[in-house]
């Protein structure tokens, strides 16, 4: 589990094909300590397992499933990636609940600088947009961001100077693809209020009246 508050950037040192998957070797900053063998780490929004650690380098395996659902198949040696260590129960939840399970891939359709800030517009799949609400949260390449606007298949977000400094989003351009994870709360609400659990009509006035939420 993660928060979407990126701690620092790492560098892809090697990309080794292994059957249908990939093994990535990453160089991590000196300040990113306490990463042990078997730990989960968020890399550009995806939860991966550390399979090797030597000094400031670590190795993670990327399965064929992850390659199909993320932008990892586009990664090149020398490219920077966003990194976040797993959330500890005593930590503050500064962003929102992020699982590291990518829902879809979006693309930047507009990016504008506004002083020290940047405003970006991203086109996202419908499977992601169904869980996006105005002023809600979404993880973009592992970065927890607030949705300014959402309409059709596009969302608009503002990047503050700190986010631009700490993440890879500063160097992203129009046309670049990004890993997207929608807020998990919406997925659970949808399932709990769906016809399978509530009956063929779902959550309607008859259901609320039957269960004592409405009175005649």
pLDDT at 206: 72
pLDDT at 130: 93
Verify that 108 and 183 share a domain, yes or no: yes
Task: Give, for all 216 residues of the chain, the pLDDT tens digit.
Answer: 999 999 999 999 999 998 999 999 999 999 999 999 999 999 999 999 999 999 999 999 999 999 999 999 999 999 999 999 999 988 888 999 999 999 999 999 999 999 999 999 999 999 999 999 999 999 999 999 999 999 999 999 999 999 999 999 999 999 999 999 999 998 988 887 766 555 655 566 676 677 676 666
| pTM (2 d.p.) | 0.88
pLDDT at 191: 81
Verify that 81 and 108 share a domain, yes or no: no
Number of domains in the chain: 2
For residue 71, the enclosing domain spans 8-85
Verify that 179 and 117 share a domain, yes or no: yes
pLDDT at 189: 84
Verify that 109 and 163 share a domain, yes or no: yes
Verify that 110 and 172 share a domain, yes or no: yes
Residue 35 lies in a domain: yes
CATH number at residue 61: 2.40.30.20
pLDDT at 75: 95
Verify that 118 and 53 share a domain, yes or no: no
Rounded-to-10 torsion of CA 113, 103, 126, 76: 50
Verify that 74 and 27 share a domain, yes or no: yes
Verify that 114 and 183 share a domain, yes or no: yes
Verify that 36 and 112 share a domain, yes or no: no
Verify that 77 and 115 share a domain, yes or no: no
């Amino acid at each position: 589990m993660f928060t979407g508050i990126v701690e620092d950037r790492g560098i892809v040192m090697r990309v080794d094909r292994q059957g249908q998957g990939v093994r990535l070797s990453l160089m991590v900053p000196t300040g990113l300590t306490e990463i042990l063998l078997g730990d989960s780490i968020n890399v550009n929004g995806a939860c991966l397992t550390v399979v090797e650690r030597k000094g400031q380098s670590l190795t993670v395996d990327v399965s064929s499933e992850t390659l199909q659902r993320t932008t990892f198949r586009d990664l090149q040696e020398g490219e920077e990636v966003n990194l976040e260590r797993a959330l500890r129960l005593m930590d503050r939840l500064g962003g929102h609940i992020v699982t590291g399970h990518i829902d879809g891939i979006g693309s930047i359709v507009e990016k504008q600088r506004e002083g020290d800030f940047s405003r970006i517009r991203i086109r996202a799949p419908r499977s992601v947009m169904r869980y996006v609400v105005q002023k809600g949260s979404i993880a973009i390449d592992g970065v927890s961001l607030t949705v300014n606007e959402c309409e059709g298949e596009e969302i608009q977000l503002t990047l503050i100077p700190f986010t631009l400094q700490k993440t890879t989003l500063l160097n992203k351009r129009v046309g670049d693809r990004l890993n997207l994870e929608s807020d998990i709360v919406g997925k659970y609400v949808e399932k709990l209020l769906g016809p399978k659990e509530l009956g063929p009509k779902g959550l309607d006035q008859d259901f609320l009246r039957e269960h004592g939420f409405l009175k005649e």
